[in-house]
């Protein structure tokens, strides 16, 4: 449960420096599920994401990167998604992701105000008052800067339409847990 994890981490929000959400919500649950059994983990890093390193494993875990193995990059992924009639997914799978862009937070507020309000509450909990999901910019202050931000980034697009796969550094992507 998010609140329990936040409390266990002393009210410290996940960030680029301390990505406890990745460890607590992705890595540890998979390790608990696998246990000591031999397992092959299939990781969906594309062939054109050379800079992304993948995952750390234990002795009983083998890692495969099928998209890389078959040379499948962004263009092929998008073509397959389109051919299958699947809606293009959001760039970020978790509404609490610290890696979201400012316009993504603004869209979250417009499409899912209850989730945005929860994020604001988390920023204000305990020691979280010292931290924010956007470094140095608490979410209420972000809302006050809405017009200025949109004048630079353009029109708000629906969250599910906003990701084109470009400039995705992979930071904070939590699709296993949050989708």
CA atoms within 13 A on the CB side of 148: 5
Q: Report yes or no on whether pTM surpasses 0.75.
A: no
Question: Are the C-beta atoms of residues 83 and 168 closer than 8 Å to each other?
Answer: no
Question: Are the C-beta atoms of residues 150 and 106 closer than 8 Å to each other?
Answer: yes
Angle at 58 between CA 63 and CA 177, to 5 degrees: 65
Q: Which has the closest alpha carbon to 54: 76, 26, 33?
A: 26
Give the whole-angstrom CA distance, residue 168 versus residue 104.
13
**Residue that has been written with the tokens 């990059």 in this structure:** 73
* Local confidence pLDDT in tens for the 179 residues of the chain: 888 898 898 888 888 778 888 889 888 999 999 999 999 999 889 999 888 877 778 999 999 999 999 999 999 998 998 999 987 766 666 888 888 888 889 989 998 999 999 999 988 876 655 678 888 889 999 999 988 888 876 656 555 444 444 444 443 333 333 33
Give the whole-angstrom CA distance, residue 51 versus residue 23.
20
**Residue that has been written with the tokens 């800067």 in this structure:** 145
């Amino acid at each position: 449960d998010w609140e329990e994890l936040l409390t266990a981490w002393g009210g410290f929000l996940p960030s680029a420096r301390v990505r406890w959400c990745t460890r607590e919500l992705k890595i540890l649950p998979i390790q608990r599920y696998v246990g000591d059994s031999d397992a092959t983990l299939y990781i969906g890093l594309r062939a054109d994401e050379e800079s992304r390193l993948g995952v750390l494993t234990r002795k009983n875990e083998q890692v495969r990167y099928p998209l890389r193995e078959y040379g499948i990059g962004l263009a092929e992924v998008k073509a397959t998604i389109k051919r299958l009639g699947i809606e293009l997914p959001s760039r970020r799978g978790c509404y609490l992701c610290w890696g979201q862009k400012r316009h993504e937070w603004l869209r979250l507020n417009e499409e899912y105000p209850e989730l945005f309000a929860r994020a604001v509450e988390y920023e204000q909990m305990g020691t979280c008052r010292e931290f924010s999901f956007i470094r140095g910019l608490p979410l209420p202050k972000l809302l006050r800067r809405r017009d200025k931000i949109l004048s630079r980034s353009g029109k708000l697009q629906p969250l599910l339409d906003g990701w084109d796969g470009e400039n995705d550094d992979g930071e904070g992507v939590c699709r296993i847990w949050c989708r």
